[in-house]
Amino acid sequence: MEKKVEIFVSGRVQGVFFRAFILKKARELGLFGWVGNLKDGRVKIVAQGEKEALEKLIEYAKVGSPLARVSKVNFVWSDDLDKFDDFKVNFSPD
């Protein structure tokens, strides 16, 4: 059964290839959705797919790209699915 998760990542996560890292991992996991920088310095990830794959994405978000320094990860699960046809970078998520 498909689920959706919204993930908010805090720390040094903008300008350190974090979005590209999440994009690659999400596509490898067969997930759909997007990743984008928020104005407050966090990164937001909206992903949907199989729960096991989403849990792996959360773990990748906790580690981050090699240059990132993740300090906090919050996430919210949902059964309210969107219509995504890919996983992409969203340049205006606010």
**Rounded to a whole number, what is the distance in angstroms from the first to the last CA of the chain?**
29
Q: Lowest-pLDDT range, 5-9, 22-26, 68-72, 88-92? A: 88-92
Beta-carbon-side half-sphere exposure of residue 39 (alpha carbons within 13 Å): 3
Catalytic residue list contains 74? no
- What is the average pLDDT across 22-41? 97
Backbone angles phi, psi at 51, to 5 degrees: -60, -40
Catalytic residue list contains 90? no
- What is the average pLDDT across 73-78? 98
**Considering the entire predicted model, what is its pTM?**
0.95
pLDDT of 1: 83
Q: Does pLDDT of 94 surpass 80?
A: no
Question: From CA 62, how far away is CA 72, in angstroms rounded?
Answer: 7
Q: Which residues contact 49 (CB under 8 A, 6 or more apart)?
A: 2, 3, 29, 30, 31, 32
- What is the average pLDDT across 81-88? 95
Question: From CA 41, how far away is CA 35, in angstroms rounded?
Answer: 13
Could you say which of 12, 19, 27, 90 is catalytic?
19
